[in-house]
Amino acid sequence: MEQEVPVTIHSGKPKDPVQEPQHELHIPKSLPELSETFAEVVSRLKASDASAMVHKATNEVKEYIKKNPAQAMLVSLGAGALVGLLLRKKH
């Protein structure tokens, strides 16, 4: 089965591409500078209240799994199945 594809031939000079506005972004040029920046971010995250909340929630989840292993397994199975259904390619 063959299909015809319309072809457009442009003549003349190509138009100038639209210039996107340039944003200033500081990109570290050296690896030590990058590692210092990463270390600063990690230290700020560790000092934040969100870090303490995540740590507390993690401990609660670990305790729940220890007390209810079968139910935790079923929940993880259901969550995996749901994610699989959502990410499945449609034919």
pLDDT digits (tens, 9 = 90+) for 61-81: 999 999 999 999 999 999 999
pLDDT for residue 18: 60
pLDDT for residue 42: 79
29 against 47, higher pLDDT: 47
| Predicted structure pTM score | 0.42
**For all residues of the chain together, what is the average pLDDT?**
79
Mean pLDDT of 47-61: 87
Q: DSSP characters for 17-73?
A: PPPPPPPP----SSHHHHHHHHHHHHHHHHHSHHHHHHHHHHHHHHHHHHH-HHHHH
pLDDT for residue 72: 94
Kindly tell me the burial class for residue 38, based on how many C-beta atoms sit within 10 Å of its own C-beta (0-12, 13-18, 19 or more): exposed
Half-sphere exposure of 82 (CA within 13 A, CB side): 6
Which residue is associated with the tokens 């729940």?
64
